[in-house]
Structure formats: C-alpha cells, structure tokens
Structure 1
Amino acid sequence: MRVGETKGAISDLRKGRISRRELNRLMAYLGIGIAGASVFGRQARAADNLSVLTWSGYDIPEMAPDYYKKHPKPDFMLMGSDREGLQKVRAGYQPDLAHDTSFIVQTYRDAGLIDPIDLSRLTHWNEVFPPLQKLEFVDNQMWIAPCSWGNSSVVYRPDLVKPKEESWEILWDPSLKGRLSQRDDVEVVALAGLLIGAKDRYAMTDDELAKAKEKLLAQKPLLRFYWSSQTDLEQSLSSGEVVASYAWNASAALLKKQGVPIAMMQPKEGMLTWTDGLVLFKNRRGPTDLAYEFINAYMAPEVGKFLIEDYGYGSANMEAFKIADKERLEALGIEDPDRTLNGAIFIKEIRKDLQTKYNEVFDYVKFSS
C-alpha cells in the first residue's frame, strides 16, 4: 500500500497537484523519509557506485538519464529538508553528492564537509544562467553545480483586486483586510527586512529587527491566515477568500490550469528566488569521475525540460528553455528567465548567530493577539 501511495504522490508532484515540500511531508507520514530511507537507500553499495542525498521524486532516471544509460541506480538517501540532510551527515551518513538548496551550502563549506566544484569538468557550465554561476562562487571557487530554481512572490486575483503598482506592499494594504495571506515561515522576517530597507536582511541589526517586527505586527490584523499548506492557500485563492498572498510560481501555474484568474507579480522590490543543485562531499567513497558524470547528466538541458514541464520549476540550464513547452513556461510565469533571474533576490541562510533572534521575532508576531 505504501509503495502505491508513494508512486501516486510523486505522480501528483509531476502534475503540479502538490509541492515538493508537501510530498516530503507525505513521505514522512508514510514512514518513508530520513528514518525509513534505509529500506531502499542503504543497500550494499558497489565500489563503483554513488551515494546521493536527495529529495523525494529526484531519485529517478529522468533526473540523470545519460548516467542511468551506463551505470546502476545510485544508493539514494531521501531527506525531508536541507536541515534534515545536514543532521544526517553530522550523524555519520557519508554521501558522495547531495542535492541541496543553495542557502545551506555556506554551512557545509564552513564545516569543511564539501569540496569546490571543478568547473573544467562540467559539460554544461557555459549553459548555466550567469546569475546562478555567481551565487555560491566564494574564494574564487564554485561550491554548487546549479540545477533548478523557483520563485516566491505575490500571487493575486486580478479580477478581484487591481494593484496600484507591483509591490510586496500589497500584502500590507488595509483596504484588503481579511483577504490577505502570508507564509508561515521565518523567511517572512527577512521579507520585512527587505521592505524596511535593511542593509542585509539575513543579518539584521537589533534596530532593523525591531523595525521588521513592527512591520509584521502591522500586517498581522490584515491577514486571513498564515499558510503552511500550499493546498490550503490555493483553495482560498480559488474561492476568492484570499485575493493576494505570498506564494510560489507552482501555485500560480496550477490555478491557471484550473481556470482560476491568477497573476504573479514582478514586485519592484524584487522576487524572492531559491536555487538548488549538487554539492560534492569531501569524504566521498565513490569515484570522483563517476560523481562528475552524474553531475553532468543532472545538468543536461533535457533534464531541465523535465523539471519545467513535470515539476514546475525553472532549470539552471539556459538551453532547457529553448526546448521546453512554451505554454508551460507562460503558465509558470518564467517565459522570460533572464528578466526573472536578473531581478531576483536570492533566498539565503539567516546568519547563524542570529537565527534564534529571527525565530523569536516571528513567533512573537504569529502568536500575538
């Protein structure tokens, strides 16, 4: 029964019915996550095989078809979040590669757990969008092989609200009281930092954090709810209960597909963009040549086309956009990836020594009466 439910959930992810995060929660509920991944992820590995830490739905041949044509399936360990993956590594799990979100790369790098990527060995490096080539380029070295990206922005009902301008400030519009929603995540503290003009929204001073707190407290009475379930948000937008919210491009695409009038802003302050890819572990046991073969297969434009059309995410490979379905690109709001990425504000890690302060600010706002 669990195998069937898992396959169905992955199918839903490919069709845009659920998000990767929701799939990970379902996998955890079914007992197939970090705790249960050993059932199929810790098989006896051959000396010439790879061990890869990754997300549910990314452990499939479509993500690296050229690799699978020549080699057996890697020994995959699934994770429900970047933090879970990091904890697994710190607990002793030794992958050769991991598919991580870029914001956690600094943590891996500072801990001495990963090696830089040898760009001379990347077949598709010159096809990667320039902004993504710079994202984790530190000390004249690249620390991640970029694969995919997605956006966070304001998604709204253009038939029910007419924004005066494209801005995140619509989520603070008093005239829309009770018809707005916000994401249930500490990242919104950093978003408030963007709007109050913080010098570095991921390393705010105490004064800036106080201003961000006041900004979020001003928003709180205007909100219908904080959302953690993408499905709940999409249903509220579909019904008109909510007319504008922080959301991801995949939600906009799904609602458009269902015939709901929906639009995704290009805020004047910038979209929030995440990107992810493969990192190479220092204490790897698999052959380095094999690791790079996997990375190159993962970065191919055909894989990017699959990511766009089946998972609803942008590809790091520029060539993927030339072969992807144009209607799908328009539905996702990424038909002009250069404009999107050049105007993007990339999501980063909150500075380690400030994470507790950020969490305290968000908890105070969320639970305030």
Structure 2
Amino acid sequence: MFRRDFIKSAMAGTALGALGPAARAIASTDILWMTWENLAKDDYLAPFLNSRDISITKTFIGTDDEQFAKLRAGGASSVDLITPGLDKVEYYTASDLLQPIDFDKVPNAALLYNTFKNTSLGKVDGETYGIPFYWGINPIVYRADLMDEEPDWSVFFEGDAYNGKLAMRDYALEGIMIAAMYLGIPEDEMFHMDDKQLGEIKKVLMIQKSKLRTYWNSIGDLTNLFATGEVVCAFSWVPPYYDLRAKGIEMGMAKPKQGVIGWCDTIAVPKDVSGARLDATFELVNYLLGPEYGKMLAVGGPYAQSTSAARDSLSEEEQDKVFIKDLAVMDNFVWKQNPPRYNDWVALWNEVKAS
C-alpha cells in the first residue's frame, strides 16, 4: 500500500489532519502518526513543528485492535509512528511490524521513571519496541459522603454494608485481576493461574456478584449512578471522581495497597521506516517525552508522561492530578498482561455473570 493510498484509506475511516499552516505541506519530511486524538492536539505539537522543517499528518484510532489491524493490512509501510498499549506491543512484535527504539536518538528516554525503565513489557530479547509514553491508573472511586472509610479491594468481596451499591467494570481481564489481588496471588503468577487458582477466583467472583448493583460498560452511566447514590463505590476510571467533585459531591479515590491496575500507552516505530523519515520520527518521539509536551499533556489532559521531564514545572496540584506528586503509587502498579488462557478467563467471567 503506497503512502498516499494509505492516507486516503485513513481519511475514509478515521479523523485525519495535517498540523500547521499550508506551508507545512512542503516541509522536507512528513511524518504520519497514528494515535489517539487527545494526544495530537495542534497546540501540543506546535513547538515541535515551529522549530523544524517537518510536518505531521495524523490519523486517529478508536481502539488498539483497529490500529493493529491497519498495520497488518499494509499500514506498516506507510505509518511512521503508532501508539500501542504497553500490554499490546507483543502482538505487533509477534507479527514483525516494529523496529527497536534507537535510544541514542531519544535522549529524553533517560528521564523515564524507574517503573517504566524496569518493566519487561514492550521488550523482546532486551530490545525496547514500545517505549512507555503516557499513563494513568484505574482506581476505586467512591462517594466519600456515603462511606465510613476509604475502601480497598475487600469491599467488593466482604461485608454487607454496601450490598447492592457497588459496581464493577464488565471486563474479564480487569475483573479477574482484581479478584487475584484480593486473594493475594502474586503478579508473577496472576496471568498464569492454574485450574485450582481459577477455581478460587470463581468462588470470590460469585460472592462479588451478589453484592453488585451492576457491571458497567459506559463511564457516563457509572457517573450518573454515583450522582444519584445508586452506586457508592466502584472500580472505575478517574473521570467520575473529578466530574462529580466539580459538581459539589464529596468523592474519594482509593489506590489499594494490594495492587493498583495501571495503564500505559507506548510509542512505537513500524519496521519499514527509514532514512530521513526515521530521523524525523525519532525527533518527534524525543519531543513527546520532553518537558514542553509533557507540561501541556498534564495540564490539558490531564495525563502524565512516562518521564520526569515536565514534573518540576507543574504545581503540586497539577502533579497530584496526574499521580506524580507521590511517586510511591507506582510501587503498587500491576500492569495488564495477556494471559495465555484468556479464553478460559472470559468463559469464567461470563459464567459468573450468567449465574
């Protein structure tokens, strides 16, 4: 698939735009970046474009699966930069779609937080193919005015005080991870559980189901359930916490010591990128891990970079909002991985829900 043909195809299926004024079209090098729309805002990228003879064409994705499918269908020869999830990089490397990150061309990578330097995810045989880019957590969010104390994962499995007022996301991977953290199953075993362990998981998930108000799919629906008091505590994404606090509702956010599910997207370079395009792409990667972009992402997102480049330029309130004021939160991260027996996980999850 030729580059121009890929762009035409992208325009038919996703939002696509070029950054900068019309003169950018004649820049010596154009980079095609396939990413999430919230990461490629014009103002985020303006400092990069204004100081270089480089233009950026961006095509937006709706899911990681969509991105992977496009690369496998021929996009790997047309796209210069992609944004796969940290736990999804292995799918791309297994299909030989990526090239290793050249750290000599990405000096800001030296500022990666240790959690991201040390993770084995995104790597093959010691080479990094997906460099951690931006991240966050999926915590417990709760109505602080309607609960007696800050909860941990046990609230979903023990006691009767909040029966019928709890919610869990309808996603087998995270739901079973939470049950495993509650049971104390170590992270190095969590994604490789045997039949006996999965049997224990099923038992506690059956208990959990009896306590739930609902399994949620839409974060908007969950936010509404919090607002009405129908749900007082849920495994959640962060937005309900801030949205409802802004409306005057006393909300809390808990980061259980048993483990916090972290999420992280990476930046990765398709295999066939070379020459001037490759040099320009690594310039962009370095910028995305640097202080200017990091500050705008933190304030505008709000999302945290994987590096400390912008940390000192943020207020304590801004740092707290993207979880970098107290870096100890990273000590309890449990990253999502792809269990070899995931079909069994999904079957178990569906059996519990149908019971």
Q: TM-score range by the shorter chain?
A: 0.7 to 0.9
For the residues of structure 2 that align with 1:33 and 1:201, how far apart are their CA atoms?
Answer: 38
- In the alignment, is the contact (CA less than 8 A) between 2:87 and 2:337 conserved in 1? yes
- In the alignment, is the contact (CA less than 8 A) between 2:302 and 2:322 conserved in 1? no
Residue among 79, 98, 108 paired with 1:114 = 98
Q: CA deviation at 1:71?
A: 4.1
- In the alignment, is the contact (CA less than 8 A) between 2:16 and 2:60 conserved in 1? no
1:5 is matched with which residue?
Answer: none
For the residues of structure 2 that align with 1:90 and 1:47, how far apart are their CA atoms?
Answer: 28
**Structure 2: any 5+ residue segments left out of the alignment?**
1-8, 19-24
Q: Give CA deviations for 1:323-366 in whole Å, capped at 9, x if unaligned.
A: 22432443x37253411112211222233xx2211211222222
- Report whether the alignment pairs 1:206 with 2:195: yes
2:350 is matched with which residue?
Answer: 363
1:4 is matched with which residue?
Answer: none
> SS of the residue aligned with 2:299?
helix
For the residues of structure 2 that align with 1:322 and 1:178, how far apart are their CA atoms?
Answer: 44
Q: Equivalent residues in 2 for 1:318-333 (5 A)?
A: 318-330=308-320, 332=321
Q: Give CA deviations for 1:207-238 in whole Å, capped at 9, x if unaligned.
A: 22222122211111211111111111122222
Q: CA deviation at 1:265?
A: 0.9
- In the alignment, is the contact (CA less than 8 A) between 1:61 and 1:68 conserved in 2? no
2:169 is aligned with what amino acid?
R
2:111 is matched with which residue?
Answer: 127
| Bigger mean CA deviation after superposition, 101-110 or 64-73 | 64-73
Residue among 237, 246, 251 paired with 2:235 = 246
Residue among 183, 206, 211 paired with 1:222 = 211
Q: Equivalent residues in 2 for 1:52-201 (5 A)?
A: 52-69=33-50, 70-94=52-76, 95-135=79-119, 136=121, 137-163=123-149, 166-173=151-158, 174-186=160-172, 187-199=174-186, 200-201=189-190
Residue among 267, 276, 292 paired with 1:302 = 292
| Structure 1 length-normalised TM | 0.82
For the residues of structure 2 that align with 1:92 and 1:101, how far apart are their CA atoms?
Answer: 20
- In the alignment, is the contact (CA less than 8 A) between 1:308 and 1:315 conserved in 2? yes
Structure 1 pair 253–311 and aligned structure 2 pair: CA distance change class (3 A): same
Residue among 262, 286, 290 paired with 1:273 = 262
2:22 is matched with which residue?
Answer: none
- In the alignment, is the contact (CA less than 8 A) between 1:34 and 1:79 conserved in 2? no
| Bigger mean CA deviation after superposition, 183-192 or 63-72 | 63-72
Structure 1 pair 63–39 and aligned structure 2 pair: CA distance change class (3 A): closer
1:287 is aligned with what amino acid?
R
Structure 1 pair 149–337 and aligned structure 2 pair: CA distance change class (3 A): farther
- In the alignment, is the contact (CA less than 8 A) between 1:309 and 1:325 conserved in 2? no
1:276 is aligned with what amino acid?
D
- In the alignment, is the contact (CA less than 8 A) between 1:66 and 1:297 conserved in 2? no
For the residues of structure 1 that align with 2:74 and 2:131, how far apart are their CA atoms?
Answer: 24
| Bigger mean CA deviation after superposition, 241-250 or 204-213 | 204-213
- Report whether the alignment pairs 1:317 with 2:317: no
> SS of the residue aligned with 1:103?
coil
| Structure 2 length-normalised TM | 0.85
For the residues of structure 1 that align with 2:86 and 2:163, how far apart are their CA atoms?
Answer: 35
For the residues of structure 1 that align with 2:277 and 2:311, how far apart are their CA atoms?
Answer: 32
> SS of the residue aligned with 1:76?
strand
Q: Give CA deviations for 1:64-114 in whole Å, capped at 9, x if unaligned.
A: 344322245423222111111111111222222111210101221222211
Q: Give CA deviations for 1:1-60 in whole Å, capped at 9, x if unaligned.
A: xxxxxxxxxxxxxxxxxxxxxxxxxxxxxxx9896227658xx99883222221122232
2:162 is aligned with what amino acid?
L
Residue among 37, 45, 54 paired with 2:14 = 37
Q: CA deviation at 1:193?
A: 2.3
Percent identity over paired residues: 25
1:319 is aligned with what amino acid?
A
- In the alignment, is the contact (CA less than 8 A) between 1:96 and 1:291 conserved in 2? yes
- In the alignment, is the contact (CA less than 8 A) between 1:53 and 1:77 conserved in 2? yes
Q: CA deviation at 1:62?
A: 3.5
| Bigger mean CA deviation after superposition, 308-317 or 287-296 | 308-317
For the residues of structure 2 that align with 1:72 and 1:48, how far apart are their CA atoms?
Answer: 5
- In the alignment, is the contact (CA less than 8 A) between 2:89 and 2:129 conserved in 1? yes
